[in-house]
Amino acid sequence: MLTVSLHGICLYAPYGLYPQEQLLLNEFEIDVDVWLPHDDVDPWPFVDYTRINDTVRKVFDVPASLLENLVQHIHIELRSQFPAAEKIKITLRKYHPAMNGEVQYAQVCYEA
């Protein structure tokens, strides 16, 4: 098994469930891991991690209010680009979410 990862993709976007969040640029960080089957006979599989970065940024161009929707759309796009992947994991963090008290980040993670 070969894992190709791109971690720490940083974006600022006006996403959030509450109206005030959609007026502000919130800070997001995304990690992507792609697992590919591999044996010792065939050449190693290749995943262009610039495509991962471009895909994440493209998904963030479309308005969304829920982190779960963003993760779902990223996963769907990456799955279509890398059909040989056995598993793709997306971790999305929203830093300093709008709520009472000090919270470092909210996180949604999906792998399939």
* pLDDT at site 67: 92
* pLDDT at site 1: 87
Q: Is the pLDDT of residue 42 over 80?
A: no
6 contact partners, CB below 8 Å, separation of at least 6: 31, 32, 49, 52, 53
* pLDDT at site 43: 80
- pTM for the complete prediction? 0.91
The length of the chain in residues reads 112
CATH class of residue range 2-111: alpha beta
Output the six-digit token pair for 42: 């065939």
* pLDDT at site 14: 87
The domain locations on the chain are: 2-111
Q: What is the mean pLDDT of the chain?
A: 91
* pLDDT at site 65: 82
Q: What is the pLDDT of residues 43-89, one digit of tens each?
A: 887 889 999 999 999 999 988 889 999 999 999 999 999 999 999 99
Q: How far apart are the first and last CA of the chain?
A: 15
For 28, phi then psi, to 5°, come to: -125, 150
